[in-house]
């Protein structure tokens, strides 16, 4: 398993992905329930000098997994929009895309 990195880096990555996801909604991302939940969860599970919180590592692992999911969904959507087919194309158009010309029909039909 790969190292998780610092919890602060994971939190910043999560907030960045939430900002990207809510950018289309038109309202500030800091007012979304997802933002408030993530920040509250990180604050509730931080390690203090009085205790060692085992749930900190569990939260960090779940947060890193969720960050990976959000990032992957965003990248998948971008790739899908860029490379998704535009519908069925005619044979002449497909041949033109790859740099070929279709042969002409004898008798002037093509």
Kindly report the pTM of this predicted structure.
0.62
SS3 content of the chain, % helix, strand, coil (to 5): 60, 0, 40
User: DSSP code of 50?
Assistant: S
Domain count of the fold of the chain: 1
**Residue 31: DSSP 8-state:** G
What gap in Å lies between CA 69 and CA 16, rounded to an integer? 13
Cβ atoms of 42 and 7 closer than 8 Å? yes
Full residue range of the structural domain in which residue 59 is found? 7-82
C-alpha–C-alpha distance, residues 106 and 110, integer Å? 8
pLDDT at 1: 45
User: Is residue 96 in some structural domain?
Assistant: no
- The answer to the question of residue 103 being in a domain is no
14 found inside a domain? yes
pLDDT for 98 equals 85
108 occurs within a structural domain: no
Per-residue pLDDT for the chain (110 aa), expressed as one digit of tens each?
Answer: 457 788 889 999 999 998 888 776 667 888 888 889 989 988 887 766 666 666 667 888 888 999 999 999 999 999 888 878 777 888 888 888 888 888 887 766 65
């Amino acid at each position: 398993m790969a190292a998780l990195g610092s919890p602060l880096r994971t939190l910043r990555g999560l907030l960045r992905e939430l900002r990207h996801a809510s950018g289309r909604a038109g309202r500030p991302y800091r007012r979304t329930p997802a933002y408030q939940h993530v920040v509250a969860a990180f604050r509730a599970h931080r390690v203090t000098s009085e205790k060692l919180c085992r749930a900190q590592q569990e939260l960090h692992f779940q947060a890193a997994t969720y960050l990976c999911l959000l990032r992957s969904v965003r990248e998948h959507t971008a790739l899908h929009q860029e490379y998704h087919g535009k519908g069925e194309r005619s044979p002449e158009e497909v041949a033109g895309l790859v740099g070929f010309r279709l042969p002409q029909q004898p008798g002037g039909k093509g």
